[in-house]
Amino acid sequence: MFTGIITDIGELISLNKQGDWRLRIKTNWQTEQIDIGASIACSGICLTVIERADSYFDVEASMETVSLTSMQKWQLGSKINLERALRMGDELGGHIVSGHVDGIATITNIKAEKDSHRLTFEIADKLKGFVASKGSVCVDGISLTVNQVNDNTFTVNIISHTWQETTLGDIKVGDIVNIEIDMLARYVARLLETQK
């Protein structure tokens, strides 16, 4: 489990696409403290560490993961939001995030508003019922509060700290991002579905 609070921006420094993808991600973390088998949210995608060295760690991703996430667009040099899994007693600063991406969204508008930026995302019809005004959503691993919802688009307001300390500061109109809907919304929808 994660909280959607990014603690480092990694860089993709190696990518092997033979079979399942093997990715090497450079980080500022002290990698000797990362266990082999540990889960790390990489721009919102929960991946398992299979190797580590002084300044990087390796993960693998199945073709299922690649095809359903923004990873399909990653290339050498891509910047990746990183968060290590929660430990008992850690502060829960964002919201509960599983790292199981529900789909991708396309950025359709970026508007500067004083020190903040308002971003508009378009999501697939199958996800639009799970996003609510003032609810939580995870965008590329970042816990955010939804400002407005309009059919299959939603907006979020990004404060300057988040803009500078995550990959959102480099985002452009037309880019795709990983979306994880709020876990509570997922289970409420499933409960309602089973009671029909």
For 125, the 3-state DSSP assignment is helix
Claim to verify: residue 70 and residue 107 sit in the same structural domain:
no
164 inside domain = yes
Claim to verify: residue 118 and residue 171 sit in the same structural domain:
yes
Claim to verify: residue 78 and residue 114 sit in the same structural domain:
no
Q: Domain ends where: 21, 49, 84?
A: 84
128 inside domain = yes
CA separation, residue 185 to residues 28, 52, 103, 139, 145 (Å): 34, 36, 15, 16, 14
Largest CA distance in the chain: 54
Claim to verify: residue 115 and residue 54 sit in the same structural domain:
no
pLDDT confidence of residue 193: 74
The residue written with tokens 């816990």 in the block is 143
Parent domain of 62 = 8-84
172 inside domain = yes
94 inside domain = no
pLDDT confidence of residue 60: 97
For 132, the 3-state DSSP assignment is coil
CATH number at residue 110: 2.40.30.20
Cα distance between residue 128 and residue 102, in whole Å: 11
Q: Domain ends where: 26, 57, 84?
A: 84
pLDDT confidence of residue 192: 75
166 inside domain = yes
144 inside domain = yes
Residue count of the chain: 196
Q: Domain ends where: 29, 52, 84?
A: 84
Claim to verify: residue 120 and residue 177 sit in the same structural domain:
yes
93 inside domain = no
pLDDT confidence of residue 185: 75
Claim to verify: residue 80 and residue 107 sit in the same structural domain:
no
Number of domains in the chain: 2
Claim to verify: residue 107 and residue 180 sit in the same structural domain:
yes
Claim to verify: residue 58 and residue 113 sit in the same structural domain:
no
Whether the full predicted model's pTM is greater than 0.85, yes or no, is: yes
Tens of pLDDT along the chain (196 residues) come to 899 999 999 999 999 999 899 999 999 999 999 999 999 999 999 999 999 999 999 999 999 999 999 999 999 999 999 999 988 777 778 888 999 999 999 999 999 999 999 999 999 999 998 899 999 999 999 999 999 999 999 999 999 999 999 999 999 999 999 999 987 777 777 677 777 7
Give Cβ neighbours of residue 173 (< 8 Å, ≥ 6 apart).
107, 108, 109, 110
Sign of CA dihedral 46, 22, 81, 140: negative
Claim to verify: residue 63 and residue 127 sit in the same structural domain:
no
Claim to verify: residue 117 and residue 79 sit in the same structural domain:
no
